[in-house]
Structure 1
């Protein structure tokens, strides 16, 4: 079958077409004929040699999410049938026209949704929902600060928070992305592109009574840490999901103590299979109806043919996208 392989660590040009064979289907697995694969920042790191592939994934084949149709089921499968449209996350191997995955880690595609559109859901919405609600405990009426609100996870978290009845403040280095986020319902938009701007004060001013935010979904990392601390309300929960601005930070721990705040880190990719399966089952039961009711929708910036994966990586590296970038398999 066709796939996209990393020839060696390097720039986008090291991505090349390949032919690979899948191993025999295990009893609890399904084979999915992939219609579209999602791009993620982790793919860029893996291409450069910065991410070690998960054990059991096809060597040299990046990709963490997919949507497609089940075309074979293992002998012990009871949840899925041939012909079912499904989506989900994988530890690697998503840049391929077929893959094997545990049936419990698959998520049914929302009723009536196109498969290419569905490929923009798994990584962004699972990450946002798990981090913001299951771990940070965002509640109705609370205020959420999203750093990089124009990213795939950012736009997902914005919609989920509004659906749950929370207030949202979003940051971006790009004014255009903030304008697009407003169209998704962002109430308070804060531009962080100018280093001289006291964006922490703007965030606090945008919170109820200027008291600060209850939850921070941090998709930026070290470069924002000291000012993020200034935005926190008493008892705030700060969860770190991405670190494109740096993995290290200087932090006033006394300030953290005085606010009785907590910081937590999370990573979806490295979790054991059973944890991913539990997350998939819970997401299907709890969140999927939001798409079918029209309250939630995947935000797609561009769809590239799989033959243009090099160009897709270049585009993601340019940081011009608002929402997800996808690869479509013909």
Structure 2
């Protein structure tokens, strides 16, 4: 098979196309002929040497989500058959023409969607469901804030929360991104380069019930300040700074919950439960067009380095996808 290899930790230029032996599925896995693969921020961290693959996943082939056609099934797999069109969350190895995935982490590509659109779904949709709805316990009628509203996670969270009856606030770094997210459904879009999101929301008397944060650093204290009583702060990255100083008295008085997670190393059973919730609650909304995949740009597999350069520039709105012939 063709695969993009991390030759050694470094910049985008360390990604190279190589021929590799095809992987073999175990009893509970399927082998997918990959047609498209999503590019995500964790892939960049892995390339730089800061996000090692969990045990059993390829440590030199990045990629956390794929879409394609099932080519082979393990002996214990009953829910899929050869020829099925699926998208899947994988622990690594997605930047390749073939990849294995636990059967429980596969979902049918929603009716009417292409392979490129299907590949844009798993990583962000699994992440948002797990952190906003499971850990964050979002409920209909609540106010929700996502930082990085124009990212893949952001555009997914906006649509999922709006479809579940929430009021959505976002932060983004340009007016273009703010305008795009409002067209997507955000009720308030705050340009963090020209406005302080804490002051902006306080001036409008808008408290927040659930916050999904990828920034960390001084955002943490600001997040705590704007959370309503019994609010929940869910941290999934700390791109600005992993260390924060907060006022614990505010946490106690407002009965706040501060939590965080990483998804990659969780078990197939854990991820399979998320897949079932997505299939039940979200996939029908995709098929009706209420929730849409947001694709910014595609690159052929051999140009994975260019895709990483774009990801690191943060110029994109939505998802970046690799296509495989």
Q: Flag whether TM exceeds 0.5 (same fold).
A: yes
Cα separation, 1, equivalents of 2:206 and 2:61: 47
Q: Match for residue 296 of structure 2?
A: 301
CA contact (8 A) 2:89 2:101 kept: no
User: Any stretches of 5+ residues in structure 1 without a counterpart?
Assistant: none
Q: CA RMSD in A?
A: 1.3
Q: Match for residue 263 of structure 1?
A: 258
Q: Deviations over 1:122-151 (max 9, x none)?
A: 111111122111111111111001111111
Cα separation, 2, equivalents of 1:188 and 1:16: 42
Query: By how many angstroms is 1:55 displaced?
Result: 1.1
Matches of residues 210-221 of structure 1 in structure 2 within 5 Å? 210=205, 212-221=207-216
- Which contiguous aligned blocks of 4+ residues in structure 1 show a shift greater than 3 angstroms? none
Q: Match for residue 107 of structure 1?
A: 107
Cα separation, 2, equivalents of 1:213 and 1:58: 40
TM-score, normalised with respect to structure 1: 0.95
Query: By how many angstroms is 1:307 displaced?
Result: 1.2
Q: Match for residue 220 of structure 2?
A: 225
Q: Match for residue 117 of structure 1?
A: 117
Q: Match for residue 93 of structure 1?
A: 93
Of the candidates 235, 244, 253, which is equivalent to residue 239 of structure 2? 244
Cα separation, 2, equivalents of 1:113 and 1:161: 21
Cα separation, 2, equivalents of 1:20 and 1:57: 15
Query: By how many angstroms is 1:106 displaced?
Result: 0.7
Q: Does 1:324 align with 2:319?
A: yes
- Between 157-166 and 285-294, report the one with greater CA deviation: 285-294
Cα separation, 2, equivalents of 1:164 and 1:7: 43
Q: Match for residue 7 of structure 2?
A: 7
Number of equivalences: 325
User: Any stretches of 5+ residues in structure 2 without a counterpart?
Assistant: none
SS at match of 1:315: helix
Q: Match for residue 169 of structure 1?
A: 169
Q: Match for residue 197 of structure 2?
A: 199
- Between 251-260 and 45-54, report the one with greater CA deviation: 251-260
CA contact (8 A) 2:38 2:319 kept: yes
CA contact (8 A) 2:52 2:59 kept: no
